[in-house]
């Protein structure tokens, strides 16, 4: 669960090079949740490229919290070029965490970094240190605030103890899941009704690609 952070120096800028198609592969998720579907999106979404190394580096930065059974969260920011979003920045804000929640603090620092670099907030990433790889009801509300601004927004859930998969990349179904979250005023952990169109509330992303040749930087503001 995540409730989405003076900026510190960036930790790393890695994977030098240009974005060539030979270094790009679609994110394929294996696991038992095939009922989430491949994609229900009725509109054409722009592609998003992200470095798998970025997700690995986040997992390592979260390790200390993970070993204490505490969640860790971060914001993913991207630049838009020729109709494609390239995730180039991970911002880990100051935060307060429990085993199933993570509250971002001082989010003005996150906005400042994004604005200085003219980046789009295309998603977020957080850990489930001792739970499976899924989106909780609170996660869905957090993600709604991203996806209502940027339709391509996605959520990365890192679940190191999930034997079926270590991470998942999700989005709300549109229009079904978006309508459910738009009409839900509940807080905390709760059940959501099924969308009227018969699709699940959220699904795996089909427009996110791993780009092994993508530069990125990390700001750890904790």
Provide the pLDDT confidence category of residue 11 given band limits of 50, 70 and 90: very low
Task: Tell me the CATH number at 167.
Answer: 3.40.140.10
> What pLDDT is attached to residue 44?
87
Q: Are 118 and 13 in contact (CB under 8 A)?
A: no
User: Checking phi first, is residue 15 left (phi over 0); if not, alpha (psi -120 to 50) or beta?
Assistant: left
Residue 11 forms part of a structural domain: no
Residue 7 forms part of a structural domain: no
> What pLDDT is attached to residue 32?
40
Residue 13 forms part of a structural domain: no
| Tokens representing residue 74 in the block | 């971060």
> What pLDDT is attached to residue 179?
97
pLDDT tens digits, residue range 54-98? 999 999 999 999 999 999 999 999 999 999 999 999 999 999 999
How confident is the prediction for the chain on average, in pLDDT?
86
Residue 114 forms part of a structural domain: yes
- Is the pLDDT at 29 greater than 50, yes or no? no
- Is the pLDDT at 14 greater than 60, yes or no? no
CA distance 96 to 99: 11
pLDDT tens digits, residue range 149-176? 999 999 999 999 999 998 999 999 999 9
Residue 54 forms part of a structural domain: yes
Residue 84 forms part of a structural domain: yes
Domain count, the chain: 1
pLDDT tens digits, residue range 104-139? 999 999 999 999 999 999 999 999 999 999 999 999
Lowest mean pLDDT among 3-7, 19-23, 193-197, 215-219: 3-7
Residue 90 forms part of a structural domain: yes
Provide the residue range defining the domain that includes 175: 48-220
């Amino acid at each position: 669960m995540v409730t989405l952070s003076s900026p510190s120096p960036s930790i790393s800028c890695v994977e030098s090079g240009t974005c060539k198609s030979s270094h790009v592969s679609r994110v394929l998720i294996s696991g038992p949740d095939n009922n989430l579907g491949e994609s229900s999106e009725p509109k054409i979404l722009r592609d998003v490229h992200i470095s798998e190394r970025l997700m690995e580096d986040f997992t390592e930065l979260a390790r200390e919290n993970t070993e204490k059974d505490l969640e860790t969260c971060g914001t993913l920011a991207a630049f838009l070029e020729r109709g494609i979003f390239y995730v180039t920045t991970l911002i880990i804000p100051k935060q307060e965490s429990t085993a199933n929640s993570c509250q971002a603090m001082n989010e003005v620092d996150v906005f400042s970094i994004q604005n200085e670099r003219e980046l789009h907030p295309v998603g977020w990433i957080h850990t489930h240190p001792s739970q499976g790889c899924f989106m909780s009801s609170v996660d869905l509300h957090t993600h709604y605030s991203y996806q209502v601004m940027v339709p391509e927004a996605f959520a990365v859930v890192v679940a190191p103890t999930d034997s079926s998969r270590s991470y998942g990349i999700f989005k709300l179904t549109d229009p079904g899941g978006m309508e459910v979250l738009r009409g839900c005023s509940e807080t905390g952990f709760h059940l959501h009704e099924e969308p009227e169109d018969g699709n699940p509330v959220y699904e795996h992303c089909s427009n996110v690609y791993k780009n092994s040749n993508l530069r990125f930087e990390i700001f750890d503001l904790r």
